[in-house]
A and B are shown apart, each in its own frame.
Chain A
Amino acid sequence: MVSIVIWTVIFLFIVQLCLLGALVVSKIQNLKEEKLISRYVEEYEEPFFHYLERETEECPDLPRDIRDRVLIVEQLLNRFVDQTRVEIEYTRLQETAHTYLARSYRLFLKNGSWAQRVNTLYYIEDFDMVDLKQEVWQYFNRLSVLDEEYRQAVRVLASFQDERVIRVLLDTETIPQRLVKQVLRRFKDDLFQQMVMVIEDEPGRVPSQVHLAVVAYCGERGSLDDLPFIERMLQFPSKEIRLKALRSLMELKACTDPEKLTRFYLSDIWEERMYAAKIAGRLKWESAQDPLLKLAGDSHWWVRYAACEAMKNLPDGHRLLEYTYNHHEDKFARSMARQHLTVKVGEAI
């Protein structure tokens, strides 16, 4: 037994030593390569940026090694996209990406590792490589697992304004709301309006997560053109849709008629009462003083919090909060008003 154990341990030790040797050698090589690439990136940054900004028509001569060249161009373009504060001139960026990266990216999408494919998709979007749209679509159709690779492929297609994504959204019951919103953020107005129209015309056909995402996104995008659509959603039987509509109204800071919110102050659903209070505060509705005073003594902490926060936003908010602190019949309302008299909340946070 002893000899078996001794030989096993010696064998494992030798394996470890070989592994250590291999790792150290590969680390030395990697560090060398990283240094080389970062030296190139520093060296080429200025002339390359001049070229991208059209200050010169001559693209600097890059190293001949294709692997190095792809890495250098990738880093330079990425740095350019991240650093440039002004409007990026995408045509030159696209041309450059097409010249140096498109061929390699086609290969990566076909034969690369998972991480390499996902990285490639990030860069295809960042560099707006719309010439690869068809390749990405074909590649997307091969994906079945809803992981980061799938999500990024959908995002890329959405950023290329590919209408086929709408069909994907409508046909995928399990699509997450967050991903739908990421798609909507990338859509230009015409594609977004197509989504709204589908909801208006055939609400039963739309997966619930897509419906919720569209209503929620209306608030985020901040266009008053969507106000009638959102207000119609307030009448929707689904509680989740109504809550999203209320939230969107709050974000839009708009509502055509304060009367539309009256029933929500009295709703059995605490989230609806909370949003109603928040909207009243955002819109500085003096007419909402009475409901807010009532909601300050609500049974739910968040509703009390929202009511007192809303009071603070009203033109005479400080006085109203002091009144609540001194005279409200509910001790929790008094306590909440006291906190809001001292805490800085709202826009500052």
Chain B
Amino acid sequence: MSVDFLYNTLEMMGYLVIIYMIVVAVVYLTLFLIASPHIRKEKGLHREELIEDTAVNTDTFPVSVLVPAYNEEVGVVSTARSMLALNYPQSEVIVIDDGSKDETAARMIDTFAMEPMELAVRRHFKTQDILEGYQSTTHPNLYLLRKENGGKADALNAGINFSKYPYFAAIDGDSILDRDALLKTMKPIIDSNGTVTATGGTVRIANGSKIIKGVVKRIGLPKQPMLLMQIVEYFRAFLIGRLGLSKLNILLIISGAFGVFEKNRVIKAGGYDPNTVGEDMELIVRIHRSLKDEKSRQRIEYIQDPVCWTEAPSTFSSLRAQRKRWQKGLAETLWKHKEMIFNPRYKGIGMFSLPYYLFVELLSAIFEVIGYFIIISGVFFSFVSIEITIVVGLLTVFYGSMISSLAVLLEEWTYHKNPDPKSVILLYLWALSESFWYRPLLVWWRCEGLFLFLTKRKSSWGNMNRKGLSQEY
């Protein structure tokens, strides 16, 4: 009786996993099909010409660039340089040192000849105390705020309080922007005359590329398989997921690495929530919520151009920490806004987007663990019929490897940013191997993240052991 029950349960779970994986694969492909006409339409468009007028136009809204930094002594100077080199008519750069224990502030003060200034800061949001403010004598639009440690969200809120322009860009301390990134990202806001309230662009992994003094000189691939897999993963997330959601105006994430926001809208929404590690997504959900509550016609848009370069974790321990943090942040956000899920009042956000993030992005780890469990049970212990084991195994490979390798092909079809044909083949082959080593690791770490959320353990700034993206020579 108990053996039969075990067999039946495993078989039921097997069918559940099969249905789940097929449905998710169909959802992915549908999202891509929604986005592809737009990608196709803009293929071959000369983007430099597109922003030429914006670059010199007095109607281009001024932007405050916020760079929260915690123990970023390795990368903060090159990030600040990259921000100062942006091709944008009017901007200020505000680096917020969130109580770093290393030389983050000292490096900024020395490199940019900064001098102390008095502060008359508005308090849109309550934050940890600001200790000092500095202004660069060489770049008068560069500021440094030193504050008590309070986390990334708190640092961003402090930056918003200090900023003086109507739009702000939030950028990670370890990211580098293309020279035209801000123009390209602000363009939907400017063209829509403010109807677009927030935008984000595609983030790419910079490891392996040659970056000198904050400028990407040559796009290349890293040698470490783990980094190559992260590149494939980013393609998959941005090309297959976000573009489609954006076209339906139900995008829930603007990457924390780089996003532009209308300040008033963020103030109305209440700013970044310092009590979650997924502050970027949480803010977007709250903005959507406030837009729907106000019946506003404003929208959030995602631009397909790769504009931001970020340093990916290069050790398994830092990758594990990052993924646990992401998963926990996602779970916290979904939990906080649980009443929006399947709530018709929130239209696409409530009826599709949030359920998508719940079942596809958050709970896929659980379904995949069950899938691996069924494969092991079938192959080694014969607890599951060989038919179901084979089907689950094939679907696991299809769901993991083949969708990822499709993302590599799509990237090449749309942007063809890979330097040579060899890189495409290399990425494709590594993507095929995903299900056999990389994905099981991710699944396990994401389950750990869920466990962290369920046990309500605290997380803070992630320690990435960064090597720095840019050479200074």
Chain A interfacial positions (CB closer than 8 Å to B): 1-2, 5-6, 9, 12-13, 16, 19-20, 23-24, 27-28, 30-31, 113-116, 118-119, 122-123, 126, 148, 151, 155, 176-178, 181-182, 220, 301, 305, 332, 335-336, 338-339, 341-344, 348-349
Set of chain A residues within 8 Å of B394, measured between Cβ atoms: 5-6, 9
Q: Is the interface of A mostly helix, strand, loop or mixed?
A: helix
B120 in contact with A148 (CB, 8 Å)? no
| Given A16-B405, A349-B92; 4 other pairs, CB 8 A cutoff | A2-B387, A5-B390, A23-B413, A115-B44
Q: How distant is the Cα of A301 from the Cα of B263 in the complex, in angstroms?
A: 15
Find out whether the CB atom of B398 lies under 8 angstroms from the CB atom of A9.
Answer: yes
Interface string of B242-259 (1 = CB under 8 A from A): 000000000000000000
CB of B458 within 8 Å of the partner chain: no
Known: A9-B397, A30-B416, A122-B46. A23 touches B135 (CB 8 A): no
How would residues 409 to 424 of chain B score, 1 for a CB under 8 Å from any chain A CB and 0 otherwise? 1001100101011001
CA distance A344 to B141 in the complex (A): 9
Contact B45 A118, beta carbon cutoff 8 Å? yes
**Does B344 lie at the interface of the complex (its beta carbon under 8 Å from any beta carbon of A)?**
no
Q: Name the B residues within 8 Å of A301 (CB-CB).
A: 122
B45 touches A28 (CB 8 A): no
In the assembled complex, which residues on chain B have CB atoms less than 8 Å from the CB atom of A177? 59, 193
Known: A115-B41, A338-B120, A349-B141. A16 touches B402 (CB 8 A): yes
For B53, B57, B390, which residue has the most chain A Cβ atoms within 10 angstroms? Answer: B53
* Complex contact B140–A344 (CB within 8 A): yes
Report the separation of the CA atoms of residues A342 and B117 in the bound assembly, to the nearest whole angstrom. 5
**Are B424 and A27 in contact (CB-based, < 8 A)?**
yes
Q: Which of chain B's residues has its CB closest to A151's CB?
A: B191
Q: Does B472 contact A (CB under 8 A)?
A: no
- CA of A115 to CA of B42 in the docked complex: distance in angstroms? 6
> How many Å from the CB of A102 to the closest CB on chain B?
19
Q: How far is the CB of B122 from chain A (nearest CB, A)?
A: 5
**CB-based nearest A residue for B420:** A31
Q: How far is the CA of A332 from the CA of B52 in the complex (A)?
A: 41
Instruction: Judge whether B4 is part of the interface by a CB distance below 8 angstroms.
Output: no
What's the Cα separation between A31 and B119 when bound, in Å?
54
Q: Is the CB of B140 within 8 A of A349?
A: yes
Residue of B whose beta carbon sits closest to that of A182: B53
Asked if B339 is at the interface (CB within 8 A of a chain A CB), the reply is no
Q: How far is the CA of A123 from the CA of B49 in the complex (A)?
A: 9
Task: Please give the distance in Å from B279's CB to the nearest CB on chain A.
Answer: 25
B116/A342 in contact, CB under 8 A: yes
Q: Which of B45, B164, B416 counts the most A-chain CB atoms under 10 A from its CB?
A: B45
Distance A12 CA – B406 CA, assembled complex (angstroms) = 10
Say yes or no: is B425 at the interface (Cβ < 8 Å to chain A): yes
Contact A176 B45 (CB under 8 A): no
A20–B117 CB distance below 8 A: no
* Residues B424 and A23 in contact, CB atoms below 8 Å apart: yes
Does A119 contact B409, Cβ atoms closer than 8 Å?
Answer: no
| In the complex, B391 has a CB within 8 A of chain A | yes
Q: Given that A122-B46, A122-B49, A176-B193 are contacting pairs, would A114 and B41 also be in contact in the complex, using a CB cutoff of 8 Å?
A: yes
> Is B43 at the interface (CB under 8 A from chain A)?
yes
B428 at the interface (CB under 8 A from A): yes
Q: How far is the CA of A343 from the CA of B391 in the complex (A)?
A: 67
A155 CA to B135 CA in the complex, in Å? Answer: 40
A130 to chain B, nearest CB (A): 19
* Separation of A10 and B406 alpha carbons in the complex (Å): 14
Closest to A114 in B: B41
Bound-state Cα–Cα, A118 to B46, Å:
9
Smallest CB separation, A119 vs chain B (Å): 5
A176 to B44 alpha-carbon distance, docked (Å): 26
List, sorted by A's number, 24 A–B pairs whose CB atoms are closer than 8 Å: A2-B387, A5-B395, A9-B397, A16-B406, A16-B409, A23-B409, A23-B413, A27-B418, A27-B424, A115-B45, A118-B45, A122-B52, A123-B49, A177-B59, A178-B57, A178-B193, A305-B120, A305-B164, A336-B120, A339-B120, A342-B117, A343-B117, A343-B118, A344-B140
Contacts of B130 in A (CB 8 A): none
Partner of B412, one of A1, A6, A27, A123: A27
Distance, CA A338 to CA B394, complexed state (A): 69
Q: Is the beta-carbon distance between A220 and B412 smaller than 8 angstroms?
A: no
Contact A155 B391 (CB under 8 A): no
User: How near does chain B come to A343, taking the closest CB pair, in angstroms?
Assistant: 5
Q: Which residues of B contact A148 (CB under 8 A)?
A: 50, 191
Q: Complex formed: what's the CA distance from A342 to B119 in Å? A: 9
Which A residues touch B52, using CB under 8 A?
122
Given contacts A20-B425, A349-B140, A9 and B120 within 8 Å (CB-CB) = no
Once the chains bind, are A12 and B119 in contact (CB under 8 Å)?
A: no
> Which residues on the A side are within 8 Å of B122 (C-beta)?
301
CB of A316 to closest CB in B, whole Å: 21
Q: Mark B110-143, 1 if CB is under 8 A from A, else 0.
A: 0000001111101000000000000100001100
Partner of B46, one of A16, A27, A31, A119: A119
The 10 closest A-B pairs by CB, nearest first: A339-B120, A122-B49, A115-B45, A342-B117, A115-B44, A335-B120, A338-B118, A348-B140, A342-B118, A336-B120
| Cα–Cα distance between A223 and B9 once the two chains are bound (Å) | 82
* Cβ-defined contact, B424 with A20, below 8 A: yes
